[in-house]
Amino acid sequence: MFEKDPHHGHNLREWLTLTGRKRILFVAHTVTYAKRLQEVCALLESDLRIQMVFTAPPHPFSDGVAQFLHRLGSAVLPWSEAVRMEFDLALAAGPRGMGEIRAPLITLPHGANYLKRVTEGADTRVAGLGRQDIIPDGRELPAAVVLPHRDHLGELAHSCPEALPVAAVIGDPVHDRIVASLPLRRAYRRALGLRKGQRLAAVVSTWGRRSSFGSIESLLPRLLGELPGKNRRVAVLVHPNVWSGHGAWQVRSWLAQCEQRGIAVVPPEADWRPVLIAADWIIGDHGSVTLYGTLTKAPILLAASPEQEINPASPAAALALTAPALSPAHSLKSQLAYAAVEYRHRQRTEYAAIAARITSEPGRFSQNMRRLLYRNLGLGQPAHPATTRQLPLPPQLAAWAAAPGAGDLGTEVPA
């Protein structure tokens, strides 16, 4: 498949037409990681000097990765082959297995900022910035550790000071693409099938037992009983780790009543960002998608915000103190109305301040990241700007609401 590896003698795609390219390995542990790496791939397209390759290492939430990469049409190497080869550069959004890769490594965060903290015994760390996240094998530093905000340098100095020389404050690609796409909100709403006067509530969840989906048994009846209506549409966005951990069939089974009531259940491989931009309300938790919601004009209602899981120095902690918390004692409709009034009268500037903390390099991820990539490849950058693209139009909500149900065992359920 590739030309013969000069270091190990493996016969790799021997029938390639373009040979002698710089080879970059993208390590996609999960669908979430793969989506983040996809943002980097766009910075390298049209460069005939580069061959991009993906691999999917073992991971507890790896379900759906193979299908996602197949839809991309990318070249995919089995993990067992990838670790025996040498590459000019590797990129990963997670630490597992990175000590086995034979290439200079650039690590990226896979979500917004560093929102969560992890407690293991007496040790508490910010997820993604701990020593075991950056040097999981304890042997060698990455070539670069990409950070979205300069404030993270302080946490890194505390948790893994030896990584400071390779830390690079680059920015956040999702932040930049959402901001660039905000002017297309009306177009996204039309593409989603929203009629004039209809309002959209986006119900979003991270993963884990303290997420909003972790208490879905209490939230689901309220979604089914109170939200759907002639002038109100609902879209549910569940973290890909939930789909992978429990299985797509099981998640659709749990949410079968949603789809039967016309509530769109956005599949894990879909791009959730246009839905977020189109939303009139966001019901969320302490995950990245809810935080990205502060970039829009949608008021936020928090269904979950567990203090013990939130990095107290993160914008998620500030959001937990700002957005109204969902109450079981009042109707969901009245609470959404309250959240809208609060947003108009008081929270708009507070949300803007929280959103400004997502990255200290707003609008500059593409140019900063491309510079970092080419410097590590030893190549000059292409002679055109590294731009931030607006997001493509989404499919209609009705297509997701009418997706194959869990009860139809003869139908292939999308992963």
* pLDDT of the residue at 338: 93
* Whether this model's pTM surpasses 0.95: no
Nearest to 234 by CA among 280, 292, 294: 280
Taking 50 as the pLDDT cut, the residues of the chain under it are 1, 4, 6-10, 406-415
Q: Are 143 and 105 in contact (CB under 8 A)?
A: yes
Query: Residue 325: its pLDDT value, please?
Result: 94
Return the pLDDT at 242. Answer: 95
How many C-beta neighbours within 10 Å does residue 407 have? 11
Q: What is the pLDDT, as a whole number, of residue 226?
A: 86
Round to whole Å and give the CA distance between 295 and 176. Answer: 10
3-class DSSP state for residue 125? strand
pLDDT tens digit string along 213-267? 999 988 898 888 888 777 899 999 999 999 999 999 999 999 999 988 889 999 9
Look at residues 257, 281, 293, 298 and name the one whose alpha carbon lies nearest to residue 401: 257
User: CB-hemisphere CA count at 13 Å for 401?
Assistant: 15
Q: Which domains are delineated in the chain?
A: 22-173 (3.40.50)
218 residue type, one letter: S
Q: For residue 263, which amino acid is it?
A: I
Residue 12 pLDDT: 54
- Residue 404 has a pLDDT of 56
pLDDT tens by residue, 325-376: 999 889 999 999 999 999 988 788 999 999 999 999 999 999 999 999 999 9
Residues 111, 173 contacting (CB under 8 angstroms): no
Chain centre to alpha carbon of residue 279: 18
Note the pLDDT of residue 74.
Answer: 85
The whole-number pLDDT of residue 411 equals: 35
With tokens 């650039």, the residue in question is 106
Distance CA 116, CA 356 (A): 18
* Encoded tokens for 347: 């929270």
